[in-house]
Each structure stands twice: as C-alpha cells, then as structure tokens.
Structure 1
Amino acid sequence: MEFPVTRLRRLRRTAALRSLVRETRLEPESLIYPLFLCPGEAVRKEISSMPGVFNLSIDEAIKEAAEAASLGIGGLLLFGLPEEKDENASGAWAEDGIVQKGIRALKATRGLDDLVVISDVCLCEYTSHGHCGVVKREGDLYEIENDSSLKLIARTAASLAAAGADIVAPSDMMDGRVSAIRKELDEKGCSQTPILSYAAKFASAFYGPFREAADSAPQFGDRRSYQMDGANLREAMREIEQDLVEGADMILMKPAMPYLDVIHAARDRFDVPIGAYQVSGEYSMLQAAFARGWLDPERTMLETLLSIQRAGAGFLVTYFAKQAARALA
C-alpha cells in the first residue's frame, strides 16, 4: 500500500510505541568492560588520552568489577602491565603474572559470580620490543616469527585459564594460534575453557590511545605484517573461517565502527557468537567531542553501540560499559 494508507510514522508517535517495535535492543548483559591491571596498591592512574579510563592495581580493579556487577554488565576483559618486560614476554605466562593474580583475586571476591572474566592473550604488553610475537633480528632487518611465537601464546593462554579465566581471547593474529591454544588447554586440563578469537583484527590507527594505556607501543616498525589490511573484507572471512576450524568458540571483530561491514558480513556467514570491540580511538574521539560540547554524550554513546549491535555483534567490548549500563537502567 502507498501513502496515505501506509503511514510508517504511526508507530513512532510515542516512546511506548517506539519501544514496542524496536528491532535491536542494547542490554547491560551484552557489554564487556576492559580493565588495565598494574602492580601496586591503591593505584588509580588516569590514562591521559582516555578520560575516565585508568591503570588499576588489583584492589582498585576489584572495586571497578563490583560496580560493573552492580550495573548488570556481562563481563570484564583484562589486560596487564607487568613490572618488567623481556624478549620472551615471560610476564605473560608467569604463574604470578599481574593478570593471573588479578583473575584469582576477582574469582575469590564475593558478589562477582555473574561477571564473565575474559583474559586477553597477547605478548605485546610483556615484550621489551612491544611486538605480539618473537622477534628475529639481523642488523636493521627484523621479522616477527610466527611458529616460535605460538608456543609462548599457547603457554600464556593455559596459564590464564589455570588462574581461573572463564574465557581466553587471543589477539596476536599469528597464523595457527587458535589450534595451538586449544591443544595446550586440552593437555593442561582446561578443555572446558572457551576461546574467543580476535579473528579479524585490523592494523588500525584507532589503537593509538590503547598503546598508552597498556604501554604496548612497538619500539620499532609496526604490526602490519600480522594484523590485517583494512582494505580486505574477503580475507577477514578467511581468517574467521580458519579460526573456527581450529577450534575457536566465539569471534571478536576489532575495531568496530570503521568495520561495521565486516561485522555484518561475518554475522551473515557464520552461526557462532560474534562480538565487536569499540576500541580506544573510537572512545577517545567521542570523549574529545563531548568535552567540547559538540555531541550529546549519552545519545551519541548509545547510538554508536546500537550501530555496532545492529550490524551483527551480539556482545560489545566498550570503555563506555558503565555509562551505557546506567543509561539503559
């Protein structure tokens, strides 16, 4: 039927009608809140490029987790800043590593049972050179070695699972990492631990503020030889398919807003849980606009999150998790 019989505005007249026919719904349970754990006590150091985001000692992280739980947020994604770094990222897989200690502390705290604890699995925060794998150097030339990196990545995942992580999430983008992790988890008695693979992680300018937060900037070169080229949608589908074949239980897309088409294509093609990471640069540019009064903070925040979910993400990693949960209450 055509106008005037068909009037699509009829169902937009009131807030109640709009709510009744809303196709996509944000819920606090679908939000994942990233935390950056650092050594010490009573440490709450704001990250200059990410207003409202902090490096937290474990005692302070527990307070953040308790607040997240009270807001109904679905889970946490943990990153670590070790006291020392070395060529082999030994802090990543150490039994007393910062994230391992954080996981055990969170799991021992009453009232946090409903929070899913996800641990990022990567080496960049723990290596002295800041790359996500083992570096082979010859003079001024270097290569990020794939296969030798897999052993350390798998060892890291097993260590985090043994500490109590509910999910391990490899973000390194080495070929074969999911298979190596699955094998190591199974051999170490962690066969029930799911793998959330950063299956399509693009080499993006939007990671800049994160590298301050996690102190993980490469000391030389860049990560374009292992993170994906932003021009390649079809290759992203191949990456996802390979990770699923190797044993990934869930997939994560990163960044989110500049790659909504990739999220949508993955949702159409793969029948697995799919999440997306609204990364540091997305958060920081919005905060900059909010500080200047250019955009309404709550409406803009929720609109961006809704766009990511509408594209096909079932859960969202976002630094806005607490603010969004309060707005949705």
Structure 2
Amino acid sequence: MLNPRSETILSSIIRQYIERAMPVSSAAVISECGLDVCSATVRNEMVRLEEEGYILKPHHSAGSVPSDKGYRYYVESIKHAQMSLTDQLLINHLFHQVEKEMENWLSLAAGLVSQRVHNVAVVTQPKQTASKYHHLELVTLQENLALAVLILRGARVRQQLVSFDDAVGQFELTAISQRLNQAFDGLTRTQVEKANVLLSDTEKKVHAAVLKMMQAEDEQRNEEPYLEGLNYLLEQPEFARSQRAHSLMELVEKRQLGRMLGEEEFEAHEIKVYIGQENREQSIRDFSVVLGSYGLPNEARGTLGVIGPTRMNYEKTIAAVRYLSLVMSALVAELYGREPEMGSGG
C-alpha cells in the first residue's frame, strides 16, 4: 500500500497523463495538487514510485508516465465510479425515444458510450442458451402461400415463407397462429418439436417452418457486435502514427471481437477492467478494456465494453459502462416480462 502522499502524487500523474498524453514533471504535480511541500520532496516520492513500478520515466524525458501497475492501483480506488444523476436522466430519455427493438437499443448504447468516453464502444447481442418461442403471425400472400413471422423471446425476429397444398385464407391462418401461440409460448425448439399437440396437415407445415426458424436462430454464433468509435481510437496520440491499432482492426475485420468479449463471465453488476498486459489476448495488450454484463442471468446475457489506450479516462469509462449495463438489463427484463436485477446507478 502507498502512503497518502504517494497516492496523491500517483493520482495526479495519472490524471495529467490521461488529459495531455505527455510525461508529467514534479512541478506539474505540485501545481495540480497544491501540495504544501518542496519540489525535492515530490521528486523523492516520484523516485520511490518508479522504483516500486508504479510509474516509468521515458528515455530522455524530464517527466514520468504511469505503468500498468500504477493504473491498476488507481483503478482500484475509483472502481465504484457512478454517472451523475443529470447524465442518467438524459440517457434514460434517449432510450425512451427509440422504438422498443433490441437492435435500436444496442446501436444507441454503443453510440452513447463511445461519445462519452471518446474510445471504441462494443455491445454484443444478448445470447440465450436456446431461443424461446414467443409469438407467431401468419400473413397470406397467395391462396397457398403465407409469410410466417416468428418473434422469439428477447425481441429476435425470424421470417419464412410457408407453402400449402391447398388454398388457405387469412381467417384460417390467424386461427392457426393463435392456437400455436397458446401451445408453444415460452418453449425452446426441442420442446416445440416434442410438444404433445395434435396438428392438422396445414398446421404441420407451419410447425415445420417454426422449427426451421428456431434452429437457424440457435445455430447463429459469434454475431458481430455493435461497434462505435474507431475514429476516436485512431485520433489518440498512441495510435495516430503507429501500427499499434492494427491488431484491434484485425480483430474487427476477422469478426473475432464479439467472440472474445462474449467469453467473459461476470458476477452480478460486476465491472471488469483489464489494463495493458493484463489482457489474455496477445493482440490487445497495448489497450485497456472495461467490460460490463447486461441482461438476465441464465436466460439472455450480453456484454458492453470499451476498448482504448491504457491512458483512458477510467473513472468516466467505468461509470458509463456501469450505468448503461443497468439500463440495458432493465430493457431486456422488460422484453422478457421479468423484474430487472437491482443495482446502483448513482
């Protein structure tokens, strides 16, 4: 553990380096903190911080920069950061302005987080262990052809054409959809397939289409996440004139980012922060990653995260990821007709 003065100096170095991306001198620390000590005392404290691995002195530089260890110490002190009530109300308002569809919420969440923290924001789709039937609509197109629109739990939608041997009118199609909705609501594909329901020949055609759509949904893997803010990353001094961002771009191009983030497991309301070399993936060890989970435990979970330089604004980022995760969890719970998990947003 660092003594209070060392903590103050380390926090000052980190805050100033986050803001300016320039090594921080002892004079700058004194000026920013208002410490009532001489510059020699601050320099001695900075030497100790360097010896203990919390800061580094770049070659030929008169100032110091934080190390991964220094950032970690700092993050532990601000890991419960919360978004202001004013910002929470604004975000709630924006979410209530869009249509109640998962795709709209995911896109909005990624955009809002990215704009707030000026780094890459990533939001993965909430995935279930198995899709669940919610509602079916059948719309006549021709006398022996209909469009089946299947809504799954979590507002996922699938469509498929269904052809019949004989003419089928809209009245009969509506009756079929109502009967199947009553029989299959909340069931998985396997349960729909094995359900003890006596079906007419026409209903069997619809039943087969439903099974096919649910199978397609269950087989869908590694969906590309919603991603915003690559432009912010490329504008950062660390990446503007180097190849360091290339590894992240490769993950995006190879569609591996969603898989990587989706493998994380979370405790309730947990925010995870991986700093530089702490990242398991070799390709992102020049970055820091802040992750949160949203959705319903054991039903549908997604991941919301931020990727940026180790010089990111951790306090603002942690607060944004925490609150947007809570908002998304409440929205998913509403879709599923569940009570949202309780958590602190401010």
Give the TM-score normalised by structure 1. 0.26
Which structure has greater helix proportion?
2
Larger Rg: 2
Give the TM-score normalised by structure 2. 0.25
